[in-house]
Chain A
Amino acid sequence: MDSLNAIVALANFVLVPGIAYGAQLALGALGVTLIYGILRFSNFAHGDTMAFGTMFVILITWGFQSVGISAGPLPTALLALPFGIILTGLVLLGTDRVVYRFYRRTRVKPVVFVMVSLGVMFIMNGLTRFIIGPGDQRFADGERFLISARDFKEMTGLKEGLAIKTTQGITVITAIVVVAILFWFLNRTRTGKSMRAFSDNEDLALLSGINPERVVMYTWLIVAALATIAGTLYGLDKSFKPFTYFQLLLPIFAAAIVGGLGSPLGAIAGGFLIAFAEVTVTYAWKKVATYVLPEALAPDGLAQLLSTDYKFAVSFAILIIVLLFKPTGLFKGKSV
């Protein structure tokens, strides 16, 4: 019984949050990695693109709620998501036209691109705060739990409860669907193939008649979709605050680099790796340990390796280790 309780406690506090967070990071890292593969720079504005997209979704959700449209047990935000994606896509295409295209044409060094993306990041950040404010926004509605801790306890008779929030379930399902569509798109459609060709070898792709502007346009649209979905899922699961999204940049970059910049599969693996590392290192293991270990060995303290304030240190440490030992990442990303 004790070991069952331990497994349930582990699932409740580590596995379920880890999977949900990992899916959110993976979606974010996919966006970063796609931009890196096609446009060849690390997009510092990605965290704020997520915030921007989520802001659209929240505003539309509020609109829907005020006229009484809802998705029943599901959050209304899911209905607002497509509109948010379209708006974010338009914003990103606009930014590309106004800002990035000039640098692409003049073929500047990649580091200038990074700097420009930093400028874009601050403008987006400023606009987000200007429109929706810097504070916390909650916009999740509908059923709160798939299984609540109490129901689970009554069902199984265990001492530990297992709670799965609706948002966590939605996160995982959405992530699977989105990733499946993305890989189908990249591997099976003409546009997807031309994108991969462009990413592998730009000159060769140009020679074989691929229109670079088209490829870039599709990339931005896909990135807009990924960023908005990732941001909305994160916001539903936790809460929306512009500054948190800026801070997400570090784990997202770490995930993309760990997996290998430019490799979509790597971004997903990296996302889950970072998420689980973060959750396990900052989780207080006391509860699980008291079930598993004999009483004499049970820990006195919380048995927490690092306080949650240092969760960014975890992604950073992993990033540093990967840079030291395998700079191309686990899945052989593009260049060093």
Chain B
Amino acid sequence: MKMRDFGLFALVALLIIGTGFLQSWNSALLILNMGLISAIMALGVNIQWGYAGLFNVGVMGFVALGGLASVLVSMPMTENAWASGGIQIVLGLILGAATVVAAVLVYGRMAAGRPRNLIMLAILIAGFFIFRSVFDAGVEGVEAINPAATGYLGGLNLPILLSWPLGGVLAAGAAWVIGKTALGLRSDYLAIATLGIAEIVIAVMKNEDWLARGVKNVVGLPRPAVVPYEIDLQNSTSFVEAAQGLGMGATTASTLYVKGIYALLFTVVLLILLWLAQTAWNSPWGRMLRAIRDNEVAAEAMGKDVTRRHLQVFILGSAVCGMAGAMMTTLDSQLTPSSYQPLRYTFLIWVMVIVGGSGNNFGAVLGGFLIWFLWVQVEPMGLALMNLITAGMADGYWLKDHLLDSAAHMRLLTMGLVLLLVLRFSPKGLIPER
């Protein structure tokens, strides 16, 4: 880190603190918390892109998987759900997996030719129908249980903090499947495959009600044990007195306190991940990855297994994204599958990495904070700009209404523009790779 980098971080800190003074401390902490999570996502993408040059267009999918993990870990089990279909669902999934494994085994063991193809096809078709018959009955049973409130399997009723690493594991599993198929081929194929998996993860989360209630959303996820509820704080006399000592109302103080605790938790995770990422970057392994990134042919000639290293780093990066996803769902205490938009969860993260400085972990973190700050603050600015432009027009004039309505779409435009401008004129970003 050079002095200039410290300056940049100080600038971002100043922006957030400025928000606290000018707008409210509540919004400053909101920006800080999402900034921390964004920084972790950016770190994950940087591990893939900066270390190895892998282009992941499905960040959204991995983030959503992390969110799913939060529900699966922390929510209470739905009563009777396991008895009335849950076991059948799991059995169905196992049968489905067994079908695929059997087909893969046949493919590996038998000699190539028509018999092999026919047997594989027969296994897959028969397996599919067995899977559907077992699985569908289970789904029906689970979704029938009080669909207005539950209608899903529920979770394991474990502390939600466990979901953070588990979200990483879930995302890593998906990354393994994708990486196994698409890595080792042209670099574009990984991009296309990740684009696909992200769409499918979201489709599954929207449609499989037994899993996490689909578009009916899961709300009211429990908080981590260390984060108190606002209402408890407001009822505790010692807290109210302390708040009054600082000259704050109990309500404001309690929301700030809760957000502050989250910020501390996220900071700890970010620092640990950053330390791990830096250690990896400076290790022989990191140097090897850069060698592969800069010249695959030469690295391969030196005996490096390019595809395996790519797979490794792709899984690691996706796991970090999944972890950030679980943290985000914990912060929101709800899972809303329809809120996952590629613009927000894939593209924005890419802008963070490119602007911050690809190939530099500190750059990615800085980009995470800075771009998130801009993302939050640009919308009111865009609206203000539109108001200014249309100020001269008569009320009800079609162009004025149209421009005011469209101000929301300015974000797509600005982010695209920012990415293209940075790629063209300053491809190294704010804190370049060293």
What residues make up the interface of A, taking CB atoms closer than 8 Å to B?
41-42, 44, 99, 102, 109-112, 114-116, 118-123, 125-127, 129-131, 133-134, 246-247, 249-250, 253-254, 257, 305, 307, 309-310, 312-313, 315-316, 319-320, 323-324, 327, 335-336
Cβ of B193 within 8 Å of any chain A Cβ, yes or no, is yes
Complex-state Cα separation, A254 to B410, whole angstroms: 31
Name the distance in Å between A94's Cβ and chain B's nearest Cβ.
13
Contacting pair A323 B182 (CB below 8 A): yes
Contacting pair A118 B419 (CB below 8 A): yes
Chain B CB count within 10 A is highest, among A102, A116, A125, for: A125
What residues make up the interface of B, taking CB atoms closer than 8 Å to A?
53, 55, 57, 128, 132, 181-182, 185-189, 191-193, 195-197, 199-200, 203, 206-207, 342-343, 347, 350, 354, 405-406, 409-417, 419-420, 423-424
The main secondary structure of chain B at its interface with chain A is helix
Complex A-B: 18 CB contacts under 8 Å: A111-B53, A115-B354, A122-B416, A123-B412, A123-B416, A127-B413, A130-B409, A246-B342, A250-B196, A309-B207, A316-B196, A316-B199, A319-B193, A320-B181, A323-B181, A323-B185, A323-B189, A327-B189
Contacting pair A313 B200 (CB below 8 A): yes
Complex-state Cα separation, A114 to B57, whole angstroms: 10
Contacting pair A126 B409 (CB below 8 A): yes
Those 7 A-B pairs whose CB atoms lie nearest each other, nearest first: A126-B412, A122-B416, A126-B413, A123-B416, A316-B196, A42-B188, A129-B409
Nearest CB in chain B to that of A127: its residue: B413
Q: Pick from B193, B206, B413, B415: contact of A130, CB below 8 A.
A: B413
> Chain A residues with Cβ under 8 A from B196's Cβ?
250, 254, 312, 315-316, 319
Name the distance in Å between B158's Cβ and chain A's nearest Cβ.
30
Contacting pair A312 B200 (CB below 8 A): yes
Contacting pair B420 A116 (CB below 8 A): yes
> Chain A residues with Cβ under 8 A from B185's Cβ?
323, 327, 336
Name the distance in Å between B310's Cβ and chain A's nearest Cβ.
12
Name the distance in Å between A321's Cβ and chain B's nearest Cβ.
9
Complex-state Cα separation, A99 to B419, whole angstroms: 12
Complex-state Cα separation, A115 to B203, whole angstroms: 25
Nearest CB in chain A to that of B407: its residue: A130
Given contacts A133-B405, A247-B199, A313-B200, contact A123 B413 (CB under 8 A): yes
Nearest CB in chain B to that of A328: its residue: B185
Contacting pair B188 A123 (CB below 8 A): no
Chain B CB count within 10 A is highest, among A114, A116, A121, for: A114
Q: Pick from B191, B200, B347, B423: contact of A122, CB below 8 A.
A: B347
Contacting pair A122 B187 (CB below 8 A): no
Contacting pair A110 B193 (CB below 8 A): no
Complex-state Cα separation, A109 to B57, whole angstroms: 17
Contacting pair A130 B416 (CB below 8 A): no
Given contacts A119-B419, A120-B420, contact A44 B191 (CB under 8 A): yes
Nearest CB in chain B to that of A131: its residue: B406
19 further interface pairs, Cβ-Cβ under 8 Å (given A127-B413, A327-B185): A42-B192, A109-B53, A111-B53, A111-B187, A111-B188, A115-B419, A122-B415, A125-B416, A126-B413, A130-B409, A133-B405, A309-B206, A316-B197, A319-B192, A319-B193, A323-B181, A323-B193, A336-B185, A336-B186
Contacting pair A41 B188 (CB below 8 A): yes
Nearest CB in chain B to that of A40: its residue: B188
> Chain A residues with Cβ under 8 A from B203's Cβ?
309-310, 312-313
Number of residue pairs spanning A and B whose beta carbons lie under 8 angstroms apart: 127
> Chain B residues with Cβ under 8 A from A118's Cβ?
57, 347, 350, 419
Contacting pair A130 B188 (CB below 8 A): no
Name the distance in Å between B182's Cβ and chain A's nearest Cβ.
6
> Chain A residues with Cβ under 8 A from B415's Cβ?
122
Given contacts A316-B197, A319-B196, contact A110 B187 (CB under 8 A): yes
> Chain A residues with Cβ under 8 A from B192's Cβ?
42, 250, 253-254, 257, 319
Contacting pair B188 A114 (CB below 8 A): yes
Complex-state Cα separation, A116 to B422, whole angstroms: 10
> Chain A residues with Cβ under 8 A from B53's Cβ?
109, 111
> Chain B residues with Cβ under 8 A from A130's Cβ?
406, 409-410, 413
Contacting pair B410 A123 (CB below 8 A): no
Chain B CB count within 10 A is highest, among A122, A125, A316, for: A122
Name the distance in Å between A304's Cβ and chain B's nearest Cβ.
10
Complex-state Cα separation, A7 to B188, whole angstroms: 41
Given contacts A44-B57, A99-B420, A129-B406, contact A320 B187 (CB under 8 A): no
Complex-state Cα separation, A247 to B197, whole angstroms: 12
Complex-state Cα separation, A125 to B188, whole angstroms: 21
Given contacts A99-B420, A119-B419, A119-B423, contact A129 B187 (CB under 8 A): no
> Chain B residues with Cβ under 8 A from A129's Cβ?
406, 409, 412
Q: Pick from B55, B343, B413: contact of A115, CB below 8 A.
A: B55
> Chain B residues with Cβ under 8 A from A121's Cβ?
416
> Chain A residues with Cβ under 8 A from B200's Cβ?
310, 312-313, 316
Complex-state Cα separation, A121 to B412, whole angstroms: 10
Contacting pair B181 A114 (CB below 8 A): no
Name the distance in Å between B360's Cβ and chain A's nearest Cβ.
17
Given contacts A102-B424, A320-B181, contact A122 B419 (CB under 8 A): yes
> Chain A residues with Cβ under 8 A from B193's Cβ?
316, 319-320, 323
> Chain A residues with Cβ under 8 A from B411's Cβ?
126
> Chain A residues with Cβ under 8 A from B181's Cβ?
320, 323-324
Name the distance in Å between A266's Cβ and chain B's nearest Cβ.
15
> Chain B residues with Cβ under 8 A from A125's Cβ?
412, 416
Complex-state Cα separation, A319 to B343, whole angstroms: 24
Contacting pair A126 B416 (CB below 8 A): yes
Contacting pair B191 A312 (CB below 8 A): no
Complex-state Cα separation, A323 to B188, whole angstroms: 12
Contacting pair A250 B195 (CB below 8 A): yes
> Chain B residues with Cβ under 8 A from A102's Cβ?
424
> Chain A residues with Cβ under 8 A from B410's Cβ?
126, 130
> Chain B residues with Cβ under 8 A from A134's Cβ?
409
Contacting pair B55 A123 (CB below 8 A): no
> Chain B residues with Cβ under 8 A from A99's Cβ?
420, 424
Contacting pair A123 B420 (CB below 8 A): yes
> Chain B residues with Cβ under 8 A from A309's Cβ?
203, 206-207
Name the distance in Å between B181's Cβ and chain A's nearest Cβ.
5
Name the distance in Å between B218's Cβ and chain A's nearest Cβ.
19
Nearest CB in chain B to that of A43: its residue: B188
> Chain A residues with Cβ under 8 A from B191's Cβ?
42, 44, 111, 114
Name the distance in Å between A44's Cβ and chain B's nearest Cβ.
7
Complex-state Cα separation, A28 to B142, whole angstroms: 41
Complex-state Cα separation, A131 to B402, whole angstroms: 8
> Chain A residues with Cβ under 8 A from B406's Cβ?
129-131, 133
Nearest CB in chain A to that of B195: its residue: A250
Complex-state Cα separation, A56 to B207, whole angstroms: 34
Name the distance in Å between A139's Cβ and chain B's nearest Cβ.
18
Nearest CB in chain B to that of A333: its residue: B186
Name the distance in Å between B193's Cβ and chain A's nearest Cβ.
7
Complex-state Cα separation, A127 to B406, whole angstroms: 10
Contacting pair B416 A112 (CB below 8 A): no
